[in-house]
Amino acid sequence: MAERVVIPARDDVSSDVAALLDLVERPGRGPIPTVAVLAHTPELFGPFLGWASALALQGLLPRRDHELAALRVIHHGGSSFQRAEHSEFGRQAGITDDELAALGRDDPFDGHVWVAHEAALLRAVDELATSCTIGDPTWSTLASHYSPGQLVEIPYVVGQYTMMSMVANSLGIA
């Protein structure tokens, strides 16, 4: 699919929006396209950037767990852009290439063994993707490992990366 919405040039937006574009700039690669398209809706850009930054950088989940959840969501969403971006982030968080491969399979447990809380986290993502809820057995396992704040964060992480996959897919961001 071709790119459907082009990121506006800095000269075509207000100085406030241009400053936000600078915040999502990736050295040598341009701004993060799934976020930079919000330059077309300036009223949403700043608040979204605050939310997304807080979730990604100040959340309570360990970085590895955050990226495991994100990558599993991205498998369900089928976004090649999100997969490439978060594979890099996942590696930085200690996710191995074998684990990345498992996260990209329909059954992430086929050929890979996860520790109990990671397996429950992946099941939670799968359950949220299919039924928009986490079942009691999965919740029980999660609750034995994660704090209440981390438990609250899990569906928010899943929702965030579901939305970002939808944005990438719908706008043709490859």
What pLDDT is attached to residue 2?
84
31 conformational bin, left if phi > 0, alpha if psi -120 to 50, beta if neither: beta
Question: Dihedral, CA atoms, 160, 173, 42, 26, nearest 10 degrees?
Answer: 90
Q: What are phi and psi of 154, to 5 degrees?
A: -55, -55
Exposure b/e, 150-174, CB count within 10 A at least 16 = b: bbebbbebbebbbebbebbbebebe
Query: Span 93-105, mean pLDDT?
Result: 97
Geometric angle at alpha carbon 61, from 107 and 31, rounded to 5°? 85
Q: What are phi and psi of 129, to 5 degrees?
A: -70, -30
Pick the CATH number of 63-171 from 3.50.50.60, 3.40.50.300, 1.20.1250.20, 1.20.1290.10: 1.20.1290.10
Q: Which helix (H) or strand (E) holds 5?
A: none
The tens digit of pLDDT for each residue in 30-80 reads 999 999 999 999 999 999 999 999 999 999 999 999 999 999 999 999 999
Do residues 4 and 171 lie in contact, with contact meaning Cβ atoms separated by under 8 Å? yes
Pairing of strands 30-31, 25-26: antiparallel
* Residue ranges of domains in the chain: 10-58, 63-171
**What is the spatial distance between Cα 122 and Cα 102, in angstroms, rounded to a whole number?**
11
- The answer, yes or no, to whether residue 124 has pLDDT greater than 90, is yes
Query: Span 130-152, mean pLDDT?
Result: 98
- Per the structure block, which two tokens stand in for 21? 């574009």
**What is the spatial distance between Cα 34 and Cα 86, in angstroms, rounded to a whole number?**
13
**What is the spatial distance between Cα 35 and Cα 144, in angstroms, rounded to a whole number?**
35
174 falls in which pLDDT band (50, 70, 90)?
Answer: confident
**How far, rounded to the nearest angstrom, does the alpha carbon of residue 28 sit from its chain's CA centroid?**
22
What pLDDT is attached to residue 128?
98
CA-based nearest residue to 169, from 49, 39, 80, 73? 80
